[in-house]
Each structure stands twice: as structure tokens, then as C-alpha cells.
Amino acid sequence: MTVSSQVDADSENSVFRRDCPSRDIFEHLTGRWSLLVLAALRPGSRRFHQLRDRIEGISEKMLSQTLRTLERDGLVERTVLPVRPPQVSYALTRLGEEAARHLCGLISWIGASAPEIRTARESWDNSR
């Protein structure tokens, strides 16, 4: 399958199709917390409570859930140290680093474009 088939053609796997298999992967990556978890892991592996403290507003439930989804997709690796009390750390896999790179690229673009976007919003809001 060519890469371009994802966004161009009416191929079997076009994103435009209702049953596109890339959809759920995309949703996992762009869900409310995934970007933040991936970005927080970019500098290196982190433990559960470090992630919780770093990511403002995330609940333990959502952190746990997000980490498990990312682990299942092969983007994050979970390591348990056999000590008492248990220490669990998370790190990006190669796949996870690639995903994080794309997402952070998008975030950087948003940061750079935010002023323009805010200006557009104001003029849109003022015109009605």
C-alpha cells in the first residue's frame, strides 16, 4: 500500500471510508490526553506519579487508561521494578517516538500560528 493512498485515492484503505482502519489509531493518538503523555515521555522514561504531576488536570484513571492504550498500540513500554513498594516506569518505543515527533510538530505549528488563528476568530466573531 502506498502512503499517498491514505489521503488521496478512493482505495480500500482511504481515510474517507467509513471503515478505514487508520481511524482508531488516529483517535488514540489525538485523544484528549495521548499527546500530553507522549510529549511528557519524550525527554526520557518517567514514573506514574511524575507523569501525573507533570500533566496538569489529568486524573489517575485517565493517565492509567491512556498509558494502557498507548502500550497496547506499541507506542509506550511499561517496566516494573521488583521492589517494595513497586516502581513502574514508562518509556517511548521507537514507534512512540515517531508518533510523538509528528504530534509535537503539529503542536509547534499551532504555537506559531496561534496569533493568526486568534485574529481570524476575532474578525469572524465581530462580523456577526
Which residue in the set 9, 12, 17, 88 belongs to the binding site for a copy of itself (CB under 8 A)? Answer: 17
Sheet containing strand 76-81, edge to edge, reads 46-47, 87-92, 76-81
Stretch touching DNA by CB under 7 A, among 8-16, 85-93, 99-107, 116-124 = 85-93
Q: Rounded distance, CA 118 to CA 37, Å?
A: 26
- CA angle, corner 78, sides to 73 and 79, nearest 5? 155
Q: Shortest approach of a copy of itself to residue 110 CB, angstroms? A: 5
Which residue in the set 48, 54, 55, 104 belongs to the binding site for DNA (CB under 7 A)? Answer: 48
Binding footprint of DNA on the chain (CB under 7 A): 31-33, 47-49, 57-62, 64-65, 67-68, 78, 85-89
